[in-house]
Structure 1
């Protein structure tokens, strides 16, 4: 039995909210997002999936969602964009965004 690798579209076409961080390794503000995303994950647990996408290694995903600057955060659920913002976003604001745009409550 072969298992096909999960694509980006498979990942975002989920009932579970998916917060995608489009980043680049050379980007200072992107590096600032790492501990913020870890804090957000601690607060929301299994209620949201957090995924990092390197725009240099995944230019197709970045261009599909018109990511022009990094970091850009996009919240998906069932393949739909529920929210997006570029720049550093504090953990408390990310938790609030997930709660307000989905059925997820902390």
Structure 2
């Protein structure tokens, strides 16, 4: 995923402290540099992070750089997104989607 000030890039070492131990909602995108749909999703996630700043934290984890975490959550495809609340997974989304659809899916999972 291209660098974005709105989306924090994580590693296996930082995943627990920055995603699982973070209070509130955290959207984790499991991504890869070789993944065209991930590149298409990057600006959507950056916009979502800006729009929902304070209510939702958006982080990205490259599956090639963080294979332990990807395996732990049984990520088999990129992009995969998992929404967490207070460290507990609420749901998983696989594949790129429009901003509108992503917002609808996240709102449904967080309700």
Distance 2:21 2:109 in 1: 16
Structure 2 residue aligned with 1:55:
63
- Which residue of 15, 33, 51 corresponds with 1:8? 15
Which sits farther off after the overlay, 47-56 or 74-83? Answer: 74-83
CA contact (8 A) 1:43 1:95 kept: no
Greater radius of gyration (CA): 1
Which sits farther off after the overlay, 73-82 or 58-67? Answer: 73-82
Partner secondary structure for residue 52 of structure 1 = strand
Structure 1 residue aligned with 2:10:
none
- State whether structure 2 residue 39 is matched by structure 1 residue 31: yes
**Which consecutive residues of structure 1, in runs of 5 or more, have no partner in the other structure?**
1-5
CA contact (8 A) 1:40 1:92 kept: no
Structure 2 residue aligned with 1:72:
80
Structure 1 residue aligned with 2:6:
none
Q: What TM-score results when the alignment is normalised by the length of structure 1?
A: 0.82
Distance 2:94 2:106 in 1: 16
TM superposition shift of 1:24? 0.5
Once superposed, what is the RMSD of the aligned Cα atoms? 1.7
